[in-house]
Structure 1
């Protein structure tokens, strides 16, 4: 099954009559299978609303979302979703939380045992598999949540500001983990962020979203080699992409 994503005339309005607020759209956007696209825009521009409509957790007012040619008409169970606040349950260990994703889908834990081991090792949590979330730092909890979101091999991932509450050094570490996992799996990823540098570092494309109601101001293809390590981040080309996006937001008075 293809995991190409298409938004056609997508729009969301909250409320009715004189109290109605247009939160997002209309937007037309095509995301190719295997792309990593970041949605970059100011608070309140509808980025998270778009993610909710893509996951099927929120109904669009107008327009359609299709994934792999099938229109989204309800909650999607074959995608990976991760939000700013992780969904780890406190009474389960790290491994138990990852296994929970499989249990809910009726999958064999034995069959996925090696997959869990490899995922935990890839984010340096192999020595913390038997710890509970309250025994971990915030960054370690988010890495465990990544494993939870990816263990069932989703080919589409929706990541809604998963690094937003982390300190700068922890963010940098998890960005590298996320980049490496995407390079290995090549899932189709939609990533919401407020960070211009983060969007440029991780993405094949950046969709710059206007202030509310959010529409797409520009799609910027990021033509930089992967992995985007410190040498790439310190390059003139990286800085040029950052400046281009900054100028767009300056034009809107956002920065």
Structure 2
């Protein structure tokens, strides 16, 4: 018997993760709550992890009371911003549920965004591929908008407290703390700085497509886990050896043609170095290789 299964990355939200199910808008037999594993190494992350853990426990209890089975899938806290790794996990989780004949829903309302986007991209990949029968109609990604942003109420409360504490000798330290927080909020918004410095950004590439022929797939599988290969000739020679094909001009031309197609589709990167073309998997290529 098939089930309706929701994958829900857990951040600091409650209502947006539970109300569509508790109010009967969406059916759910089981929810898979995506949480963090391990201990953070810096204080701000430690507090954020504590808040996320509290929210997970509150959601888990609430779903149980509703008669919806909660399950937990953990992602190492140091990997929460490793998009490719999370994508591979998400693809595997969703693939297994679809293969079991279940209907899959992905709630991308909460944080961190790398987790939500990776699950959304994995769902999109499986919906567009032909690996699972009727996947397009059985996988759904949804977002729930908030009615209120509590940070606005928080700022207003802090402003009132600041006005009342100003000039008070008894609460000098508290007044200074509130004034500092308000100044930082006015300057930076609700976040400060960037999580990573080199590079600062995390690429969210398009979902890998499935329009590959067998030889293109063979090339991608060969390139997986390898560093940049310095020339097309070296790539063809090493590939021929691995798949036990004769290496000659015809085979080299075949490799060159198919690598060019893969570059056009976004699966490989090629950089010119003198007369040679260096070849490596692109982000999309690595994502495909990790999930096929």
TM-score bracket, shorter-length normalisation: under 0.3
TM norm structure 1: 0.26
Higher helix share: 2
Which one scores higher on RCO, CA 8 angstroms, separation ≥ 6? 1
TM norm structure 2: 0.23
Higher strand share: 1
Query: Which is greater in Rg?
Result: 2
